């Protein structure tokens, strides 16, 4: 069985659908459905079991999960709202829970692929997005909680105390289908698309952070690329070992982005290729984001490529087209 925590969320649900695409349905989804809007993300998905995340953690603590064989754990569950300031909740949810799941993965001898984040880099500028200590300066408790688990994993790797594959994927600015439930935390790709469709215009930020009108730059990564990276390191689906082939072991914390930054103006133009022309308006930068906002991100993929992973990354234009042309509107 494959376990997907956060399996009803944005990235987790896309991962479930990607597993299904490769004929895998023996999946346990772990999530919190207090926000029932996430249910739509699992329309058409095939899985065999579901557990509330609190029930899951209790079962782990009691060693009562009762799964005979775990093929891999995809740990996507987290509080990803960067505006949450409750450090006690964030550390328990994102750090302590992750350590519990790591312990279970070791007990089961199952690969653990987990979601980290580019938020650990804080206000880093161009050339400072390699996963090294001097670049890691999170702006909020969300980024810190993720960095704390990255530190834990890297220490275990250095000690040689991890007998399994453990890979942390530092997701950059993810976009794609099934993110509508995220509200304000959805990608700018999602927000810009909605504005164009609803109003015929798109609002971009005026000059800020040393960048001109709409020229703030992000590494926008298509969610299906991240789902495939998860399967790659878990050696699932098309990357499963052949008969007689030894399973590989990876242990790393690496960036997971496209490797190329794009401006908000470029995002707007890519969306217009799908939705038609729209008017661009530049609006003042929100004051409540001034100390929390990454004006530039761009993943250094050197570490990812050094693991032997050569999966191509989808271009912004192609990802936007696949999201909004081939996906039902309710899932966007």
User: Which residue(s) pair with 114 in the sheet?
Assistant: 75, 168
Q: What percent of the chain has pLDDT over 90?
A: 86
Residue 92 DSSP label = I
Q: What is the DSSP letter of 102?
A: H
The reported pLDDT for the residue numbered 330 is 42
Q: Which of 45-49, 211-215, 283-287 has the lowest mean pLDDT?
A: 283-287
The model's pTM is 0.95
- Is 146 catalytic? The answer is no
Backbone angles phi, psi at 18, to 5 degrees: -70, -40
Angle value at C-alpha 71, between 255 and 30, nearest 5 degrees = 75
**Is 53 an active-site residue?**
no
CATH class of the 2-172+222-257+297-312 domain in this structure: alpha beta
pLDDT tens for each residue of 116-156: 999 999 988 898 999 999 999 998 999 999 999 999 999 99
The string of pLDDT tens digits covering residues 250-259 is 999 999 999 9
Give the pair of three-digit tokens for residue 190. Answer: 């999602």
Q: What is the pLDDT of residue 243?
A: 85
**pLDDT tens digits, one per residue of 14-58:** 999 999 999 999 999 999 999 899 999 999 999 999 999 999 999
Worst-scoring range by mean pLDDT, 23-37, 74-88, 131-145, 208-222?
A: 74-88
**Which of 53, 99, 182, 194 is the catalytic position?**
182
Taking residue 91's Cβ as centre, other Cβ atoms within 10 Å add up to 16
Q: Which two tokens stand for residue 116?
A: 């980290």
At residue 136's C-alpha, the angle toward residues 97 and 77, to 5°, is 25
- Residues 301, 307, 308: CA angle, nearest 5 degrees: 95
Q: At what angle do helices 223-234 and 10-21 cross, to 10 degrees?
A: 60
Cα 91 to chain centroid distance, Å, stands at 18
Please check whether residue 73 is in contact with residue 105, taking contact to mean a CB–CB distance below 8 angstroms.
yes
pLDDT band at 326 (very low <50, low <70, confident <90, very high): low
SS3 203: strand
User: Which phi and psi angles does 295 have, rounded to 5°?
Assistant: -80, -15
**292 pLDDT more than 90:** no
Catalytic: which of 142, 171, 232, 233? 142
């Amino acid at each position: 069985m494959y376990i997907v925590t956060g399996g009803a969320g944005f990235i987790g649900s896309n991962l479930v659908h990607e597993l299904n695409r490769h004929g895998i349905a023996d999946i346990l989804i772990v999530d919190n459905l207090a926000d029932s809007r996430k249910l739509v993300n699992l329309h058409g998905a095939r899985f065999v079991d579901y557990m509330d995340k609190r029930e899951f953690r209790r079962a782990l603590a009691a060693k009562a999960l009762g799964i005979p064989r775990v093929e891999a754990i995809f740990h996507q569950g987290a509080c990803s709202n960067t505006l949450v300031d409750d450090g006690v909740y964030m550390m328990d949810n994102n750090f302590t829970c992750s350590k519990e799941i790591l312990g279970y993965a070791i007990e089961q001898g199952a690969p653990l692929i987990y979601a980290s984040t580019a938020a650990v880099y804080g206000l880093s500028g161009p050339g400072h997005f390699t996963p090294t200590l001097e670049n890691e300066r999170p702006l909020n408790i969300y980024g810190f909680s993720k960095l704390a688990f990255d530190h834990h994993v890297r220490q275990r790797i250095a000690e040689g105390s991890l007998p399994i594959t453990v890979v942390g994927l530092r997701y950059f600015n993810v976009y794609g289908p099934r993110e509508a439930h995220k509200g304000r935390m959805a990608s700018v790709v999602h927000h810009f698309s909605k504005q164009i469709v609803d109003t015929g215009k798109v609002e971009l930020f005026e000059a800020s952070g040393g960048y001109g009108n709409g020229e703030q730059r992000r590494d926008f990564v298509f969610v299906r690329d991240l789902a495939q990276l998860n399967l790659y390191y878990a050696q699932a689906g098309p990357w499963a070992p052949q008969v007689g082939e030894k399973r590989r072991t990876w242990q790393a914390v690496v960036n997971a982005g496209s490797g190329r930054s794009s401006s908000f103006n470029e995002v707007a133009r890519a969306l217009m290729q799908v939705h038609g022309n729209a008017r661009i308006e530049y609006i003042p930068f929100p004051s409540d984001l001034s100390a929390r906002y990454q004006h530039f991100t761009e993943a250094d993929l050197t570490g990812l490529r050094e693991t032997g992973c050569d999966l191509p990354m989808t271009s912004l234009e192609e990802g936007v087209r696949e999201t909004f042309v081939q996906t039902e509107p309710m899932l966007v």
